[in-house]
Chain A
Amino acid sequence: MLSGKEELLNKLKEAAVNGDADEVTKLSKKVIEIGIDPLEAVEKALITGVLELGEKWINGEAFIVDMIAAAEAMKAGLSILKEEIVKRGGSIKYRGKIVIGTVEGDIHDIGKSIVASLLEAAGYEVIDLGVDVPAQKFIEAIKQYNPDIIGMSALMTTTMLKQREIIEAIKQANLRDKVKIIVGGAPTTEDWAKEIGADGWAPDAASAVELVKKLLK
């Protein structure tokens, strides 16, 4: 027999894996209501569930939309449980903090959003600056959030050049040694990343998560 606590955590995990944000919200409230350690709920149910789904996706057994739905459901749970964790004097231990955005002049959202969701699903705190993001906004974000990594996406050969400009602007602002910078997007290559002085490049979303893990080891 499972205890009531284990049963609830199992259900919470299942709801996260199914990407059912409403159910996750409901169950997260119940976690608080019956006094289960919210940090345990985050780690044992939400994060574990989403990580397991991530493995399935890598093996071709789940779709990217399932991953994103699970990440969204996890976020819905986190927003409720976080408050209680703070109230108990704790904090959620993320594996790292990443600021991400598509560079100025480029409004391609999909690749960047997938990377953001997969990073969230892998246990990272992600601040998504959206699309058409100018250098100044990246600089402000470094100052405000103090991230470990900045991720820049560009989907066109014309906007790819912006990645170099933004790195130069970050250098000018004397912030280059505060963050690692990674780049990606269809026209980019490993050589390009080296040429513009980025710390890493990934050819696709799954590799981007691996890259972040490697850089923050």
Chain B
Amino acid sequence: MAKPRIKVLSDEEILEIHWRSLSILSKVGVKVDHKEALELLKSIGSEVNLNSRVAKIPEYIVKEALDKTPNIVRLYYRDGKRFIELYGDNTYFDVGSAAYYYMDYKTNEIRRPVSRDLAEVAKVADFLPNTHIMSTALVPSDVPEIIADRWRMYIVTKNCTKPIDTGAFTLEGIPDAVKIMASIIGEENVSKKPFMIFAACPSPPLKWSELTTQNLMDCAKYGIPAHIIPMPQTGGTSPATLAGSIVQSNAEVLAGLVIAQFTKPGSPVVYSGSPTVFDQRFATSCTGYIEVGLISAAFSQLAKFYNIPSAAYTMVSDSKTVDLQSAIESSLGALISVLSGINMAIGSGMLLEENCISLIKLVIDDDIAGSTLRFAKGVHVDVDTLAEEVIREAGPGGLFLKHKHTREWWRKEHYIPRLFDKRTYDMWRKLGSKDLNTVAKENIEKILKEHTVEPLPQDIEKELNETMKNIAHKYGIKKLPEI
């Protein structure tokens, strides 16, 4: 059965991009602000200048790193039983991570989030059927910045059972995250059944910061998944051309793969990305431009060429409110994601160039995700679905409503949206003539009221609380917010 898929690069073009990236890596090199990593790169045959901190990585080392990279990354739920697998053409939708602002669903006000807000986002994401990965979506303002990264992990772990996309803002971030995971699944299972994946964002062009490099090497050492997120801004920190931005980003990803795989072979790494268009009119980095979809689809093709899982920030809108623009940008992003087989489509619920999370957008994005996942399955053709016999039985002028086949297949064949309105005009009026945002708001209230997140076993919750308390104590923080 032919499934709807798109390719934005030909096989020859993929090779061309690959070669150009290798050429840049070996001739221009990447700047790595991390002593241990530079020494590592030198020891395996890179030409390293310790003053400029630039490492020129030869082609054969990149090839070795690619050989060592796993083809499948498995992300567990925190129960250590359920999991999702990033590989092939599977697409999983992921809430956007680390927003500094929150759009209050009750007032539509954009403000700094508090811990309670993040707990609510986690609970809603736990419920949503087409949102498969929760992230540490918000940076709460009611804890000191120094522990905000780990505090987010703590809140989300408590309030959501799904895999968590997260990241560390501190050098201690990853080792502490490992402690948080260990308190839930046991130390011995952290690398076997990790329920978090960590963002590692190179700084374009061609730079790996100390923090990001440390985070990536830590992930490799602990055997926990990382996704490398190049963030080209067309015409700002990367060439204005899409192909040029792709070549540069690909070189950054390959450099990361080398660091990870030579830190520890077999480290689970995802080829991710958050390309943006640098709008020359307003000096803004925009995530909702259609070209972001083209670059993301190209990243996915490159990841498949390298036989490693892919991800991209495709669900984010540049809109300042939940409106037609936000729905259109999410919808195009979602469709491009499933059609190009991006394994993690990131950014559900996000507005404002990745700076804001809106619950209203998140629940709407879930219906968008469901619709596009259905589209990607294509038309199911077999003896049953062709239904020749059923058509014969109904006959000209007949009706299919009373046919058993209809009962059996209608629900199987369609994605039934939770929020999009399909009623008659009169029914809609009777129910209060509500627009989508109002329906979404009521749905959030219903989920928060009725959904129960599977609680952590008491002893495990105690251990988790203890772990968080110890992390806070390291910084002399005694009081943490109630959630």
Contact = CB atoms under 8 A, between A and B. Distances in A.
Interface of A: 19, 63-66, 68-69, 72, 107, 109-110, 113-114, 117, 131, 203-204, 206-207
A113 B402 CA distance: 10
A65 B426 contact: no
Given A204-B426, A204-B427, A109 B397 contact: yes
Contacts of B406: 65
A68 B402 contact: yes
B426 A203 contact: yes
A63 B427 CA distance: 16
B410 A114 contact: no
A114 B399 CA distance: 11
Contact of B402 (A63, A72, A204, A207): A72
B434 to A, nearest CB: 15
Ordered nearest first, which 7 A-B pairs have the shortest CB separation? A203-B426, A65-B407, A65-B406, A204-B424, A68-B401, A109-B399, A68-B402
Contact of B410 (A65, A110, A206): A65
Nearest to A207: B426
Nearest to A203: B426
Interface string B419-452: 0000011110000000000000000000000000
B395 to A, nearest CB: 12
B411 interface: yes
Contacts of B411: 63
A204 B423 CA distance: 10
Interface in B387-403: 397, 399, 401-402
A65 B407 CA distance: 6
Contacts of B427: 203-204, 206
B229 to A, nearest CB: 40
A64 B401 contact: yes
Given A203-B424, A203-B427, A204-B424, A114 B407 contact: no
A103 B407 CA distance: 28
Contact of B407 (A19, A109, A117, A131): A19
Interface residues of B, number: 13
A69 B397 contact: no
A64 B422 CA distance: 14
B422 to A, nearest CB: 11
Nearest to B424: A204
B397 A110 contact: no
Interface in B180-223: none
Contact of B401 (A113, A203, A204): A113
B367 to A, nearest CB: 15
A69 B410 contact: no
Contacts of B407: 19, 63, 65-66, 69
Contacts of A19: 407
A188 to B, nearest CB: 11
A204 B430 CA distance: 12
B426 A69 contact: no
A114 to B, nearest CB: 7
Contact of A65 (B397, B401, B425): B401
A206 B430 CA distance: 12
A8 B76 CA distance: 46
B424 A69 contact: no
Contact of B399 (A66, A69, A113, A206): A113
Contacts of A72: 402
A203 B430 CA distance: 11
**Residue picked from B402, B406, B410, B425, most chain A C-beta under 10 Å:** B402
A19 B410 CA distance: 15
B52 to A, nearest CB: 64
Nearest to B405: A65
A59 B234 CA distance: 50
B167 to A, nearest CB: 40
13 contacts: A63-B407, A63-B411, A66-B407, A69-B404, A109-B397, A110-B399, A113-B399, A113-B401, A114-B401, A117-B401, A203-B424, A204-B426, A206-B427
